[in-house]
């Protein structure tokens, strides 16, 4: 198995282009049976080139994506994996991951500042001057 960094998130695109009968290969990624990732695999369906030429709206694109994932084999996925489908769910997950990373970084920065402040206070007067 390939080793990925802990922050890696997998994104499968263009599920509407999977040849009939080969959907199971994608489902193995989403369910973590193949190349499991700490943050999981997501599958999204974006507008095709014709939709883009027709200037599809964001709302209509998300509605079409939702309708797509309401069909087999996606609908047959266990409910615990339904959150790994659709752009909105991917966006939510990315927001959580980013917020966590920012919070961890802020805590580290605050700890360094506190350490430096305490270190300055503890220095003997002769060193500070």
Q: Is residue 70 in some structural domain?
A: yes
Give domain status of residue 109, yes or no: no
pTM of the entire structure?
Answer: 0.74
Domain containing residue 34: CATH number: 3.40.50.300
In a domain, 115, yes or no: no
19 found inside a domain: yes
Tally the domains of the chain.
Answer: 1
Q: Do 65 and 45 form a contact (C-beta atoms < 8 A)? A: yes
Cβ(11)–Cβ(57) below 8 Å: no
User: pLDDT of 48-90, one tens digit each?
Assistant: 999 999 999 999 999 999 999 999 999 999 999 999 999 999 9
Q: Per-residue confidence at 117, pLDDT binned at 50, 70, 90?
A: low
Q: 5 lies in a domain?
A: no
pLDDT digit string (tens) for 94-105?
999 888 888 777
Cβ-in-10-Å burial (0-12, 13-18, 19+) of 72 comes to exposed
Say if residue 114's pLDDT is above 60.
Answer: no
Average pLDDT, the chain: 84
Give the residue numbers spanning the domain of 73: 10-102
């Amino acid at each position: 198995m390939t080793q990925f960094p802990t922050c890696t998130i997998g994104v499968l695109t263009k599920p509407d282009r999977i040849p009939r009968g080969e959907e199971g290969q994608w489902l193995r990624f989403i369910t973590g049976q193949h190349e499991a990732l700490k943050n999981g695999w997501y599958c999204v369906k974006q507008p095709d080139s014709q939709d883009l030429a027709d200037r599809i709206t964001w709302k209509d694109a998300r509605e079409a994506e939702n309708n797509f994932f309401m069909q087999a084999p996606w609908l047959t996925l266990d409910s615990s994996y339904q959150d790994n489908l659709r752009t909105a769910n991917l966006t939510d997950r990315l927001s959580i991951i980013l917020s966590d990373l920012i919070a961890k970084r802020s805590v580290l920065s605050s700890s360094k500042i506190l350490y430096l402040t305490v270190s300055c206070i503890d220095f003997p007067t002769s060193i500070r001057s």
